[in-house]
Amino acid sequence: MAIISSDPLVNSSDVSIIIDDNETISVTNLRYSQKINAARIVEFSVNSLEDSLKCRLGAKITVLVGRVPPNINTITNSATNFGYSYTNHYHFQGIIRQVSPTPHGASVTAYDYISLLKTSQIEEFKAEDVIGRDLFTLIADAANIEQIDTTNLIGGIGIDATAEMGLTGLKTRKQFIDLCIANSVSIATDSSKYFDAINPVYYQYAIKTNNVFDIYKLDPDNVNNKSVLSVSLNSNNAYNISPTIDTQRLINSLTVENQKIGLVFTHNDNSSISQYGVASSLVSTNETRREVIETTAFEIVSRFSKPTIKYEIEISNDNAYCLGQYVSVTSNIIGERTLPIQSISTDFDGGITTLSLGEKELSVQELIRLVR
């Protein structure tokens, strides 16, 4: 049975690190980091030769964070859900991938089991096994390896695989999953839920806790989204708020071309042009109906005529958050925006969590393809 292996690092939370399901170690400098569609990373230091020898390359590692001692229900698969006595979002299972010896121990880096999908054997994804199936089920099948729990991946997203998606051929499991995710985008137009005419709805994946693979929906423009955290420049619940206002994706002059019928149409947003200067883009389409082309050009320019807003906020470790949750941020210049969490970095010794907020960056050509 594992035991508490370190003093409380922050907020009276005990951290237990178990190697190969039976060896415990004491750690310092514990840090979590996670980005969308990627393996979660845990980094820490051990300060004894004995503990450094336990941290062999390829070893299984389990990290538990909470306020009660680990027990048979929290470190093994059983009828009891894994670790609900703990801070659930900090549960981690993975593999030690890097060990750097130090004079008194070692610095250790571990990745969760999504890393096994990245380094998997090359597999042939055949058309007869892929085309026509829901992308959700294809992702679930590709993620279904011994080390990953996919039992909750039930249902679908209503987008079927097509030959144009490029899903077939020789690929690692993660390459295949990433292609499925890239194509798991649709456009919502319900005026009761959105202010704009074009509103991308998309999916991302992660192991948010333990070894459970999750495919989650993001609908960032939906006015009904509920935020798990609200911060502002004047609030006392954030150490730092750093906005980034980016005009690299701004488009206020869009030209749509159909070479087959010799049609060229340009729509300008003169207000945006006067404020930010001309930012033009040329896209091609097979659409032949002029009224559809004009409407689509107007809707796309309306969406892209303003800068992209991203935030990085620093908060305390009092609460744990996960990818895909929404955070409401208010600033004097930008006003209030509700954005999804796209990356998380947690420093346990410092007691600080850094959240990066933003939306999926779809290209104009991708939007043209989706709305045509």
Q: Would you state the pLDDT for residue 84? A: 40
Name the token pair of 164. 């144009």
Q: Looking at residues 302-316, what average pLDDT do you find?
A: 89
224 alpha carbon, distance to own chain's centre: 21
pLDDT of residue 318: 78
- Nearest one of 58, 67, 107, 60 to 85, comparing CA atoms: 67
Percent of the chain with pLDDT over 90: 58
Q: How does pLDDT run across 19-41, given as a tens digit for each residue?
A: 999 889 999 999 999 999 999 99
CB 258 within 8 A of CB 283: no
266: confidence class by pLDDT, cuts 50, 70, 90? very high
Q: CA 161, CA 136: separation in Å to the nearest integer?
A: 10
Look at residue 371 in the predicted model and tell me its pLDDT: 58
Q: Tens digit of pLDDT for each residue in 140-169? A: 999 999 999 999 999 999 999 999 999 999
- pLDDT reported for residue 369: 65
Q: What is the pLDDT of residues 212-255, one digit of tens each?
A: 999 999 998 899 999 999 998 888 888 999 988 888 888 999 99
The owner of tokens 């670790």 is 83
Q: Classify strands 326-331 and 227-232 as parallel, antiparallel or unpaired.
A: parallel
Q: What is the pLDDT of residue 361?
A: 72
CB-CB neighbours of 107 under 10 Å? 16
pLDDT tops 80 at residue 174? yes
Note the pLDDT of residue 67: 54
Reference 24, options 80, 64, 84, 66; nearest CA is: 64
Largest CA distance in the chain: 74
Query: Which pLDDT band holds residue 188 (cuts at 50, 70, 90)?
Result: confident
Q: Give the pLDDT band (50/70/90) at residue 82.
A: very low
Q: Over the chain, what is the mean pLDDT?
A: 86
For residue 2, the SS3 value is coil
| Least confident piece of the model among 159-163, 200-204, 285-289 | 285-289
**Domain segments of the chain as ranges:** 14-112, 114-223, 248-304
Residue 317 has what pLDDT?
A: 84
